[in-house]
Structure 1
Amino acid sequence: MKLAMKYVIMYVNDFEKTMKFYRDILQLPVKGEHGTYVEFDTGATTLSINTRESFKDITGLETPVGSMRSQTFELGFVALDVDETVENLRRQGVEVLLEPVTKPWGQTVAYVADPDGHYIEICSEM
């Protein structure tokens, strides 16, 4: 079996705030928009958001409500200059969870949070 990751969908509490975060602050181009379902172009893998209510209406499944500080995944974005990117995000009011640090393997990483508290790694190439 050969699988290829094509997209990730995050279910969010505040659609408008999250939409503005990914579109305006992270400056991800909108690839498609269908009501509360939005796809962002991030390269080979599409990042999508939808409301928790819409997900439940479509599937009948539940999603946790509220900001999650105990995460089971993170989104990783490679930046040319991690320090500059983090400072730019901070100036726009983004919560910085971990300041940029260079790991023993040479990669610089930092963590910020989106409006729902999802962890976002801003990192240099490996």
Structure 2
Amino acid sequence: MNLKMRYVILYVADQEKSKRFYKDILGLPVRGEHGTYIEFETGSTILAINTRDSVKEITGLPIPENNSSQTFEIGFVVDDVKGTIESLRKRDVEILVEPIEKPWGQVVAYVADPDGHYIEICSSLD
């Protein structure tokens, strides 16, 4: 089996609010829009959003109405974690964890998107 991660889809409550966050605040280019489904360029993996109602209809899966518990995070590597966090703070993004250097040398911080999804902003390990 040869699996390759191609995309991640976040289920959101408010498509326009989430689109503004990822496009205008984080600066991710929109790759494509198909109704309630929007894809953003992030490098080798596509980040997409879709409304919970649409996902329920398309998949038939039981999708919760909100993020009642966090079971994952998405991570973005940046050159300057502290500078990125300060820029996001000025745009009223909720900062969950201030930048901290981990024992392995990586600097990490956490923010939340409009639906409360955890987003790690971190330095590269390369």
In structure 2, the partner of 1:87 is 86
- 2:72 aligns with 73
TM-score by length of 2: 0.96
CA distance in 1, matches of 2:59, 2:106: 39
Q: Distance in 2 between matches of 1:42 and 1:66?
A: 25
Q: Structure 1 runs of 4+ off > 3 angstroms?
A: none
Structure-to-structure mapping, 1:100-115, within 5 angstroms: 100-115=99-114
Distance 1:62 1:9 in 2: 15
Pair 1:12-2:45 in alignment: no
User: Equivalent pairs: percent with the same residue?
Assistant: 66
Structure 1 residue 67: Cα displacement: 4.0
String of CA shifts for 1:55-85, please: whole Å, max 9, x gaps: 11111112111244x3111000001000000
Q: Distance in 2 between matches of 1:45 and 1:96?
A: 24
CA distance in 2, matches of 1:66, 1:47: 19
Q: Write the distance in 1 (CA, Å) between the matches of 2:48 and 2:86.
A: 25
SS at match of 2:44: coil
Superposed CA RMSD in Å reads 0.8
Q: Distance in 2 between matches of 1:122 and 1:31?
A: 21
Gaps of 5+ in 2: none
TM-score, structure 1 as length reference? 0.96
Query: How many residues are paired up?
Result: 125
